[in-house]
Amino acid sequence: MIDRKSISGSLRGLLSKFGVAVFRSRGRYNQDGLFSVHSTNWQNNPKFRKAYQRGLLTTRNGQDPQHEWRVHIAIWCAANAAKLPGDFVECGVFVGFMSSAILDYLEWNTLNKQIYLVDSFEGPSSHLYNEEEIAKGMLINVEKLRALGGYSYPMEEVQKNFSEWKNVNFVKGFVPDILNKVPAENVSYLHLDMNCAQPEVEAIEFFWEKMVPGGFILLDDYAYSGYEIQGKEMDKLAAKMGFVIASLPTGQGLIIKNSH
């Protein structure tokens, strides 16, 4: 009789000898397009769990988008940015899921900072998509979602969600047109999630000189599957402006402004 376990063990040993990692199909993390066998101890942190659950209160019926690792990265950036001078800005708020989790985790009312939440609260602006994005069908998908009520979260509803925190400011309008209405002079944390290349590029160009040394810029879709055009345009901007983007397995991109 063939001993399948012995064969399997021998094969794993042989592959390991040549530097090929062999994992069991059951990983510790498998959601949001990310599979990992590495430690997820941060998931069990009570403070993280509370913050994530607070974020879920913004979603319809508390539905979980399974963005835990993405939220973990955003909280890490925000927690470090909170130690720096400067305010927080988010462009692309939608229902406020990410920012709610962050403000809960940071115990926002104990900080002497402002956060500016910038969004049209009507969905993306159709005229901002470039030819490549339109050819890929991104604009059609946005219009379909809009027709189905996918962007039917008026600003007043989102404001209610943030009513427990002080120093939360809403700036309603389309990026980049509305950016000059954001009064922040120094920014330590900038989160961009507009699912469209042009407004995100222009947002970085606008805020770059306002970013404090060591400030964090987090791109939600830089490396995310289906948003390769945003990644490409960001790479062009990075080459032009001289910064480096860390591509994260969550699909996010991370920029830390050099202190020099």
Decide if 9 is inside a domain.
no
Within-domain flag for 175: yes
pLDDT for 191 beyond 80: yes
pLDDT tens by residue, 202-223? 999 999 999 999 999 999 999 9
CATH of the domain at 75: 3.40.50.150
pLDDT at 237 over 60: yes
Domain coverage including residue 104: 27-256
72 closest CA partner among 43, 111, 100, 107 = 43
Number of structural domains found in the chain: 1
pLDDT digits 0-9 by tens, 78-105: 999 999 999 999 999 999 999 999 999 9
Spatial separation of the C-alpha atoms in residues 245 and 217, rounded to whole Å? 9
pLDDT score of 14 more than 50: no
Q: Is the pTM of this model over 0.85?
A: yes
Is 252 within the bounds of a domain?
yes
Find, among 194, 227, 187, the residue nearest to 208 by Cα: 187
Tell me: the pLDDT tens digits for 42-74? 999 999 999 999 999 999 888 999 999 999 999
Any domain includes 223: yes
In a domain, residue 80? The reply is yes
Q: Which two tokens stand for residue 40?
A: 């997820």
pLDDT of amino acid 259: 72
Per-residue pLDDT tens digits for 134-181: 999 999 998 998 888 888 788 999 999 999 999 999 999 999 999 999
What 26-31 contacts at long range (C-beta under 8 Å, 24+ apart), as own/partner pairs, is: 29/68, 29/69, 31/66, 31/68, 31/69
The Cα–Cα gap between 156 and 136 comes to 33
Which residue is listed with tokens 């039917």?
152
Give the pLDDT score at 57. 95
Question: Would the pLDDT of 37 be above 50?
Answer: yes
Does a structural domain hold residue 8? no
* Spatial CB neighbours of 104, under 8 Å, sequence gap ≥ 6: 50, 51, 54, 55
